[in-house]
Structure 1
Amino acid sequence: MEPLQPDTLIRNPYGAPVVASVVVDCEAPRLWGLVGQFAGFDAFIPALSHIEMTGVGVGALRTKIFHDGHCVVEQLNSRDEDAMRMTWTTIYNTLGVARLWAAMSVEALGSRRSRATWTVIGEPVEMAQAELETFVQAFADSALENVRRMLG
């Protein structure tokens, strides 16, 4: 019998990135203060009931509980406060997504305007890739529009 070897189910997804972006009439640090809070996405995503955190900083786990009962567990991969960017990976979900990687970044567009960009690469379990990409695009666009309304 072969000895057990290190293995993992986590791998990066393949596919075209889905990119959602919004320009807001506010300073970049203020925008980052909203979209850059890994534990705070329920502030601008109304479908979320709440978020439970395990740990802090890179490596922390975020469990997003949706009002409809769905659950998504994600791990914070990287975070750069000065550059205003972070990345995360979905490690468990009930949404039918096999693999998902995402990034959020904020850039200043002058002193009183800034842009938030949410990039997602995902692979579905059973639905068509195009269907997942359409869903993710609509979800991210809607969330960032909420951000614009909240801060603009």
Structure 2
Amino acid sequence: MIKSKIIKALTFSSALLFSSFTMAELSDAPIDKRDNQAIARQVINAPANKVWKEIGRVDGIENFVPEVFASTSVEGEGEGAIRTCVHHDGRKLVEQVVAFDEVSMTLTYTLVDGSELPMINMYNTVQVHPINETQSLLVWEAKYDVTEEAENPELVHQYMQGGLSVVSAGAKRYIEAAM
């Protein structure tokens, strides 16, 4: 009796969890085995299409965090595009866009070169969700592995969480100021 109740509850929970996905989406979805995740959510007082217009540009991240980056440049468009973010001291981060979807307002990129942090396999996904006609939810997520050389893995996570929070708050300031 208890076993059948548990199975029913699990079946119902699974149905709820996957109800928004089609089977094609599920079969194409990669299984994520990275150990670490940081996520920042930011409500922006702007319509989703306006927020996506800035996020989907790929370049211009220095507008969100001018205290961190002096400039960005992008070679190519959409998937495969290469973004170079230049710090004020000349250091560079090179990132590659690995997924770009205008319809779902989603951008995923990976770090190719330039990290001074002890992490590998880092992928960041930025998605814009409409809340209503005048507000959007910006979700910025990082998934990554910490290398064995890391002396303090928790410090790496705190850095990533803080970084995403600063960038998403900067996006909010920049986009709302432009409204």
Regarding TM over 0.5, the answer is: yes
Cα RMSD of the aligned pairs, angstroms, is 1.8
Larger Rg: 2
Whole-angstrom CA distance in 2 between matches of 1:138 and 1:75: 22
- Aligned residue in 1 for 2:134: 112
- Aligned residue in 2 for 1:39: 59
Whole-angstrom CA distance in 2 between matches of 1:27 and 1:75: 27
Ranges in structure 2 where 5+ consecutive residues have no aligned partner: 1-31
- Aligned residue in 1 for 2:166: 142
Instruction: Report the identity percentage.
Output: 22
Whole-angstrom CA distance in 2 between matches of 1:148 and 1:54: 25
CA contact (8 A) 2:79 2:98 kept: yes
- Aligned residue in 2 for 1:95: 116
- Aligned residue in 2 for 1:73: 94
CA contact (8 A) 1:25 1:113 kept: yes
How far apart are 1:77 and its partner, in Å?
Answer: 0.5
User: Which SS does the other structure have where 1:38 is aligned?
Assistant: coil
CA contact (8 A) 2:58 2:74 kept: no
TM-score by length of 2: 0.72
Aligned length: 141
Whole-angstrom CA distance in 2 between matches of 1:147 and 1:74: 18
Aligned pair 1:56/2:80, yes or no? no
User: Which SS does the other structure have where 1:39 is aligned?
Assistant: coil
Write the letter of the residue equivalent to 2:109: W
- Aligned residue in 1 for 2:16: none
Ranges in structure 1 where 5+ consecutive residues have no aligned partner: 1-11
Whole-angstrom CA distance in 2 between matches of 1:13 and 1:59: 23
Whole-angstrom CA distance in 1 between matches of 2:154 and 2:79: 31
Deviates more, 1:119-128 or 1:20-29: 119-128
- CA offset digits 1:64-123 (Å, max 9, x no partner): 111133221111011111110011111111423333111000000011110100000123
Whole-angstrom CA distance in 1 between matches of 2:86 and 2:37: 24
- Aligned residue in 2 for 1:5: none
